[in-house]
Amino acid sequence: MKLALWLVLWALAACGRVGVPLPPERVAPAPVGDLTGAVVDRGIELSWTIPTRRADNVRLRDLALLHVFRTDDDGTGDPKPALATDGRIAGYAEIAAIRAGDPAPAVIAGEKLTFVDTTATSTGRRYSYVVLAEDARRHVSAPSARLTVTRITPPAAPTAVRATPGDREVRLSWDAAPRLVDGTTASDRFVYQILRAPGPDAPSDVITQTAPGATSFVDRGVENDRPHVYGVRALRSTRGATARSEISERVTGMAVDTTPPAPPTELVAIPSAGTVRLAWMGSADADVSRYIVYRGRDDGPFERVGSTAAPGTTFTDRDVPAGRWRYAVTAQDTSSRANESRRSAEAVVVVP
């Protein structure tokens, strides 16, 4: 009937009376293309990218609802096929109709929507999901690809996460998750996901996934003196399903510059009565903040007598007692640790 009506309208358009309408399947929202799921303690967590286009690739501006359909079985044989009929999936029950403008209890972060099916809690049960998108004019998309997840018991969260600073890196370590959330001892060698956020209130992103059994990771290439918040969660995979722990207690880690700058060179000291004027070639490093000047007796220890801000490379030491003195200069960088270089070669003077 719909096809016949569309053909009549097309014929009228040929006479110049109306524009050519598109068939309904062309103006419906594009189907969800990346439905994924993982077992979590609360149920099964589903995630997908929210459609932003129609089937004909025109911008979708009036997305209204996202329908989640589910069926479950004991895992025997093939899962039930997902056949769409009048905006529903035959043989599946609708478990959620998520409003695009008010998605709770689902959560939207960027282009991704996450929904937890809190009723999928029977261990060993197989759950199959399909999502349909509907616009404000009640055009319904084709079904997403069917997602099938077998409920397995998730692991407990890792504990004792530690963050050790390094130069442009943070070294993380943690204690392996010792058991599953039901209290049974874990015999699996879990994979771990590392999550990082730029601050305590910012969302976390997964930055890597370890090899099975690994309990450490080095986050390299991070900016020095900028804190990041880290968390770790365990992944258990068996029977074709993946179960995910809660995220561990979060820790803050910050890479720090631990490399001192190169020392100054070509130190020259010119004495006069009670005064010694010093000059030197600056450090080759660009992150020098100050130069520190040291003075010592012939056989005595060096003592700091002053400093000058970079890029200055001169200093006048006043009220110097008469006698033989040694001088040296170091470079100090701009890092939070204020790394100090080795001392320059010494300059020896005799003050009259």
Domains and CATH numbers, the chain: 2-150 (2.60.40.10), 159-254 (2.60.40.10), 265-351 (2.60.40.10)
Q: What are phi and psi of 23, to 5 degrees?
A: -60, 150
pTM of the complete model: 0.72
Q: What is the mean pLDDT of residues 309-334?
A: 96
pLDDT tens readout for residues 27-73: 899 999 999 999 999 999 999 999 999 999 999 999 999 999 999 99
Q: Which residue has the tokens 């009565």?
A: 273
CA–CA distance, 148 with 292 (Å, rounded to integer): 67
| Cα dihedral sign, 338-343-344-348 | positive
CA–CA distance, 163 with 196 (Å, rounded to integer): 12
DSSP 10: H
CA–CA distance, 227 with 261 (Å, rounded to integer): 23
What percent of the chain is modeled with pLDDT above 70? Answer: 93
CA–CA distance, 53 with 60 (Å, rounded to integer): 5
Give 317's strand partners: 276
pLDDT of 19 strictly over 50: no
Are the C-beta atoms of residues 132 and 144 closer than 8 Å to each other?
A: yes
Q: Which tokens go with 236?
A: 């258990």
CA–CA distance, 195 with 230 (Å, rounded to integer): 6
pLDDT at site 24:
55
What percent of the chain is modeled with pLDDT above 90? Answer: 82
Q: pLDDT averaged over the chain?
A: 91
pLDDT of 90 strictly over 60: yes
Q: How much helix, strand and coil, in percent to the nearest 5, is found in the chain?
A: 5, 50, 45
pLDDT at site 7:
42
Q: Which tokens go with 216?
A: 């450490």
| Cα dihedral sign, 114-115-121-123 | negative
DSSP 155: B
Length of the chain: 352
Q: Which tokens go with 288?
A: 């020098």
pLDDT at site 240:
78
pLDDT at site 25:
55
pLDDT at site 336:
86
Residues 6+ apart with CB under 8 A from 257: 167, 168, 224, 225, 287, 333, 335, 336, 337, 339
Collapsing DSSP to helix, strand or coil, 303 comes out as strand
pLDDT tens readout for residues 133-185: 999 999 999 999 999 999 999 999 999 999 999 999 999 999 988 899 999 98
| Cα dihedral sign, 99-103-106-110 | positive
Q: What is the mean pLDDT of residues 81-106?
A: 94
pLDDT of 2 strictly over 60: no
Cβ–Cβ contacts within 10 Å for residue 179, how many? 12
**Which residues in 284-322 belong to E strands, given as ranges?**
288-297, 303-309, 314-318
Q: Which amino acid is at 51?
A: P
CA–CA distance, 159 with 247 (Å, rounded to integer): 10
Q: What are phi and psi of 303, to 5 degrees?
A: -130, 145
- Per-residue b or e along 185-212, where b marks 16 or more CB atoms closer than 10 Å to that residue's CB: ebebebbbbbbbbeeeeeebeeeeebee
